[in-house]
């Protein structure tokens, strides 16, 4: 993107935003809570950032909530190039990190160098789950699909034959990142099994 009168920094920032708009077209397996359609990755990024703000008191350790929100706003941008890898797709997950890292370098590389480094660092931090902020961010990222599938009466769980043990394995990091939410998550999962939304 170029303008008749502009500077290179603004042009690079606008090019990044133009590319980021493509996240709205990446369809996820999660179904909206009203069951009407699948959500897209941009909707997920907004919703999980809002959830992190609303549920911040449940973080397992003191966190910088603004950093968590920034992390969550960029954590799935890689799906523009790498696609959304379904959480229970064991084959797709084999090369997921390599695909996503390549995508991160390209997409964040559209920005001015200082911003590219900053957003890449946030993305890497989220992936590694080594900081308090990244542990909390990952916990909230895993919590929302449980909420979605429960509200949508099974949603993607039923569509793909997912079992209780698979869900528990997938969302186990919630216990560390947001321990006071873990009981509520387990209750939702058990209720989902009882209501036929999730295979035992």
- Give the tens place of pLDDT for each residue, 91-116: 877 888 899 999 999 999 999 999 99
pLDDT band of residue 6 (cuts 50, 70, 90) is low
Q: Looking at the predicted structure, is the pLDDT value of residue 55 above 80?
A: yes
The confidence band for 1, taking pLDDT boundaries of 50, 70 and 90, is: very low
Quote the CA–CA distance of 40 and 196 in Å, as a whole number.
26
Q: Tell whether 85 is covered by a domain.
A: yes
Domain presence at residue 199: no
Q: What is the pTM of this model?
A: 0.92
Q: How far is CA 121 from CA 9, 74, 111, 144, in A?
A: 20, 11, 13, 24
Domain CATH code at residue 188: 1.10.3210.10
In degrees and rounded to multiples of 5, residue 30 shows phi and psi of -60, 140
- Is 200 within the bounds of a domain? no
Predicted confidence at residue 85, as pLDDT, reads 85
Domain count, the chain: 1
Tens digit of each residue's pLDDT (9 = 90 or more) over 22-45: 999 999 999 999 989 999 999 999
Spatial distance between the Cα atoms of 138 and 182, rounded to a whole number of angstroms: 13
Flag whether 120 is in a domain. Answer: yes
pLDDT value of position 90 = 83
H helices of the chain, in order, are 8-20, 41-54, 65-74, 79-82, 96-108, 113-128, 132-151, 155-159, 164-171, 174-177, 179-194
pLDDT confidence band for 87 (50 / 70 / 90)? confident
Please check whether residue 183 lies inside any domain of the structure. Answer: yes
Instruction: Of 57, 54, 85, give the one whose Cα is nearest residue 72.
Output: 54
Q: 187 lies in which domain range?
A: 8-194
Q: Cβ atoms within 10 A of the Cβ of 33, count?
A: 17
- pLDDT at residue 71, rounded to an integer: 98
In a domain, 173, yes or no: yes
70 domain residue, yes or no? yes
């Amino acid at each position: 993107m170029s303008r008749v009168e502009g500077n290179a920094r603004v042009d690079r920032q606008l090019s990044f935003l133009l590319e980021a708009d493509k996240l709205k077209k990446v369809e996820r397996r999660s179904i909206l809570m009203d069951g009407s359609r699948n959500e897209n990755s941009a909707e997920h990024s907004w919703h999980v950032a809002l959830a992190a703000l609303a549920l911040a008191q449940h973080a397992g350790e003191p966190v910088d909530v603004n950093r968590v929100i920034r992390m969550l706003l960029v954590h799935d941008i890689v799906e523009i190039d790498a696609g959304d890898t379904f959480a229970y797709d064991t084959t797709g997950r084999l090369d997921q990190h390599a695909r996503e890292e390549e995508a991160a370098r390209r997409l964040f590389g559209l920005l001015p160098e200082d911003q590219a480094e900053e957003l890449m660092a946030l993305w890497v931090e989220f992936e590694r789950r080594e900081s308090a902020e990244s542990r909390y961010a990952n916990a909230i990222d895993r919590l929302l699909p449980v909420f979605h599938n429960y509200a949508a009466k099974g949603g993607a769980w039923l569509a793909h034959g997912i079992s209780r043990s698979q869900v528990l394995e997938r969302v186990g990091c919630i216990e560390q990142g947001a321990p006071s939410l873990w009981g509520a998550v387990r209750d939702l999962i058990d209720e989902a099994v009882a209501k036929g939304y999730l295979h035992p």
